[in-house]
Structure 1
Amino acid sequence: MESSQASISSISGCVIIPTYNNERTLERVLRGVLEYVPAEHVIVVNDGSTDTTPDILDRFKDAITILVNEPNRGKGYSLRKAFKHALEKGYEHALTIDSDGQHYPSDIPLLLEQSVLNPGAVIMGSRNMEQEGVPQKSSFGNKFSNFWFKVETWITLPDTQTGFRIYPLKPMKKIWLFTNKFELEIEVIVKLAWRFVPFIAVPIRVKYDPDERVSHFRPARDFTRISILNTFLVLTALIWYYPRKLFSIRTWNVIKHEAIKPEESNVKKALSIGFGVFMGIVPIWGFQLLIGIPLAVLFRMNKVLFIAAANISIPPMIPFIIYGSFLSGQLFLTGETNALQLTDLSLEAIQSNAYQYVVGACVFATVAFVAVFLLSFGLLKLFRKEPNHIDT
């Protein structure tokens, strides 16, 4: 029964125990879990066991939930089945623990405490894989997994292969899981990371007893599966996750807030837009933002609106800006405007009339600034209510 202040009920959670032919350790693990979690919140998935596992579970059948796979389908399939069941029962979190005896149920309160302190996070029980008795292949496999997890998510974790975890179930509704074996425990945390779910690592104890522990991990076969999965995840990260992370929801929220700034006056917004157009036209190609952004910061303008407006100098607009600059320069210097053809605006033409172009671009930029400021201010005045508290 629960004795921890942070209980499974406090996170609206359940415990999931996938098992396959672990008759030596299953009952001990179950009884240990039941010291900390009420039986009605425990889900065991019997993954087509062919040993005495069904007999062991039969002793608990009136207290815990038992799901059965026939035939053996794999740990990943069992976890997916249990996650679906937990969601259907309305649970918000699921604590998973292996049935091979390597985890100590007495560490459950450590994970629960961190889950309470970090709602919505994945809590990862972190084993010391360098301690005496840890199989070499397990230590290497963990380092291998940690490396690829970092490549795929930009997140560093000390133990990505631990089966002792707490998952938030709400984001699980939004991800598609397709693996069925051990690799699911990699797939699920990578895809949760891609949903910007935070991770918390909690040091836990680990026990590797060769006399009682049965491992169903097959290095050649399972490493191949994991390698194929990592190849898929890395490619997906390159195409989708990395760009999405660079322009994450948080980033867009910052940009949106900066652009809207409800406390900012209509005059300041209009000035920011007008100044952006001005800097986009003045003949300092390649340096508009380098010079304009510090000035926008100095004069406390709206940086997002300034940058958006400064992008008037995108390639499709450049010929029209140059054309307008030439006409403005001709009018300012001679008082005349001889019609030019856009097709005549070659690099040689700009170089031979550099003075006219530079003067004209400055005049054109100034006129554009005034026109855009007046238009922006008029539209803002028409469609936007002036804030009660104006940011100065």
Structure 2
Amino acid sequence: MHENLLSTIQSCVIIPTYNNEKTLERVILKTLIYTSDVIIVNDGSTDSTPEILQKFSQLHQIHFPKNQGKGMALRAGFKEALKLGYQNTITIDSDGQHFPEDFEVFVNEIKENGEALLIGDRNMEQEGIPGKSSFGNRISTFWYWFETGNKLRDTQSGFRLYPIKQMENLKYFTRKFEFEIEVIVKAAWAGIPVKNVPIQVLYDESERVSHFRPFKDFTRISILNTYLVLITLLYIKPRDYFRKFQEKGFKRFFLEDLLHSEDSNLKKSLSVALGVFIGIAPLWGFQTVIVLFLAYVLRLNKLIAFAFSNVSIPPMIPLIIYASLSIGNFFLGTPKLNKFQWNAIESYKEYITTHLAEYFVGSLILASVSAVLFGLISYLVLGIRSKKTQKIHSI
């Protein structure tokens, strides 16, 4: 491997370090075999790290007076790399578990398949991997999949390639280990491909120093994932489904997602029914979150359910509110409605406020009946179409 290989993708190497005096010099020397474009971030080390780094004064160095956390070290490294004109950067831990020889794996992947955020896959099933690391990785990969829809094998490896130029406008709020979760989720949300590439790994417990504090760091990670899940349900999923629906248009959505989806007719029909029920039910402001959550729990088609939950589009709102109030009046035996002003939004608010019980009961009944009707009609239509398709293929 030539020393200028990393320069072919305009990349440098960032080495964040905190009290890894046993392995730091070895990691730097091995890295220098492959590139001299190195940024070292000393995250407030209290051991002999400053003395070791004096031997490498030719390299770009950032020194924090106090420990701020790996996230802050990486963010400072990204900022410095952008200032120096790099498009990408590879991060490698200073505890000796990674092999600089694997730089070539990252570079080749970018050259062959284009820009992406690459995470080294340590093959967590191999011998020598600590059980707590393997378990933590499984939990992390699950939440990453839930938050992005993208499946990875390893989400916790610190050996990565970041397309920092593409990520320049992303905003972060985490400072420590959890940053490595936040950054890959937000990159995926921004449309940056996030992939695994195979790497080697060495766990030498006699040299390796772990700064992971189970209680504090798991708490931070849990808080972060709670935040990311809420953003996923409240904004990211609705945004993505809306964009997909908008790009396709109703006709293409109807033909591809409703008719040609690989899901069974029953599953599609139940998805339609769920969407219609949630769209009409008195769940204003939470319809998207609820429909996506229920579609996920019930294993229904999320895109179909989301699309039909938009049955309560603005032109339909007066009709839905009036029908709900009328049905509620009928079933509760309350006096008939006074004159209803269809074009006045204040009229909706007034009637719903003064006839809340009627509206609540009526909207649930209307939602249930509509869901059953839409579900049955879609099931019959899909069934008829399936029979026609079978006849055509049998000819």
Q: Same fold (TM over 0.5)?
A: yes
CA offset digits 1:230-273 (Å, max 9, x no partner): 0000001000111112133x6645559x9xxxxxxxxxxxxxxx
Which residue of the other structure, out of 59, 73, 77, is the alignment partner of 2:72?
A: 77
| 1:50 equivalenced with 2:46 (yes/no) | yes
Give the number of aligned pairs. Answer: 265
Cα distance in structure 2, aligned partners of 1:253 and 1:313: 22
* 1:4, distance to aligned residue in structure 2 (A): 7.0
Q: Partner letter of residue 179 of structure 2?
A: L
Please list every run of 5 or more consecutive structure 1 residues that lacks an aligned counterpart in the other structure: 259-285, 287-310, 319-341, 344-392
The answer to whether the 8 A contact 1:171-1:195 is kept is no
Q: Which amino acid aligns with 2:171?
A: W
Shift of 1:183: 0.3
CA 1:312–1:61: 2 relative to 1, 3 Å: closer
In structure 2, the partner of 1:366 is: none
User: After superposition, where does 1:168-179 map in structure 2 within 5 Å?
Assistant: 168-179=163-174
Query: Cα 1:220–1:91, aligned 2, differ >3 Å: closer, same or farther?
Result: same
Query: Quick check: 1:166 aligned with 2:155?
Result: no
Query: Is 2:20 the partner of 1:25?
Result: no
Please give the alpha-carbon distance, in whole angstroms, between the structure 2 residues aligned to 1:138 and 1:156.
18
Cα offset, 1:118, TM superposition: 2.7
Q: Distance between the aligned counterparts of 2:227 and 2:83, measured in 1?
A: 30
CA distance in structure 1 between the partners assigned to 2:48 and 2:167 by the alignment: 33
SS of the residue 1:15 aligns to: strand
2:83 to 70, 84, 88: 88
| CA distance, structure 2, for counterparts of residue 212 and residue 69 of structure 1 | 23
TM-score by length of 1: 0.63
2:60 equivalent to 1:61: no
* Aligned counterpart, 1:35: 33
TM-aligned CA distance change 1:80 to 1:246, over 3 Å: same
Aligned partners of 1:119, 1:247: CA distance in 2, in Å?
A: 27
Identify the match of residue 181 of structure 1 among 173, 176, 187.
176
Q: Does the 8 Å contact 2:68/2:175 carry over to 1? A: yes
Secondary structure in 1 matching 2:168: helix
The verdict on how the C-alpha distance between 1:110 and 1:313 changes in structure 2, with shifts beyond 3 A counting, is same
Deviations along 1:209-237, whole A, 9 cap, x unmatched?
01111111111111111011000000010
State the match for 2:265 in structure 1: none
Partner of 2:86, secondary structure, is coil
Q: Give the deviation of 1:135 after TM superposition.
A: 1.2
Distance in 1, matches of 2:198 and 2:241, equals 31
Post-superposition offset of 1:120: 2.2
Amino acid at match of 1:106: E
Structure 2 CA distance for aligned equivalents of residues 251 and 44 of structure 1: 46
1:102 paired residue number: 97
Paired residue for 1:325? none
Give the CA deviation at 1:313.
7.8
Report Cα offsets for 1:269-325 as digits up to 9, x if no partner.
Answer: xxxxxxxxxxxxxxxxx9xxxxxxxxxxxxxxxxxxxxxxxx99846589xxxxxxx
Compute the displacement of 1:171 (Å): 3.0
The equivalent of 2:145 in structure 1 is 150
Query: % of aligned pairs identical?
Result: 52
What residue is the counterpart of 1:216 in the other structure?
A: 211
Q: CA deviation at 1:89?
A: 1.7
Matched, 1:232 2:231: no
Alignment of 1:1-392 (within 5 A): 3=2, 7-37=5-35, 39=36, 41-62=37-58, 64-248=59-243, 252-253=246-247, 255=249, 314=316
Distance in 2 (CA, whole Å) between partners of 1:130 and 1:217 is: 21
- Distance (Å, rounded) in 1 between the aligned partners of 2:146 and 2:118: 20
Deviations 1:41-63 (A, max 9, x none): 2000000111111111111112x
Q: Which runs of 5 or more residues in structure 2 are unaligned?
A: 253-275, 277-312, 321-338, 341-395
1:119 deviates by 2.4
Contact 2:17-2:94 within 8 A present in 1 as well: yes
Contact kept, 8 Å, 1:22 with 1:99, in 2: the verdict is yes
Q: Considering only aligned residues, what root-mean-square deviation do their CA atoms show, in Å?
A: 2.6
The structure 1 segments of at least 4 consecutive aligned residues displaced by more than 6 Å after TM superposition are none
Match of 1:268 in 2: none
Contact 2:187 2:194 (C-alpha < 8 Å) held by counterparts: no
Contact 2:3/2:33, CA 8 A, preserved across alignment: no
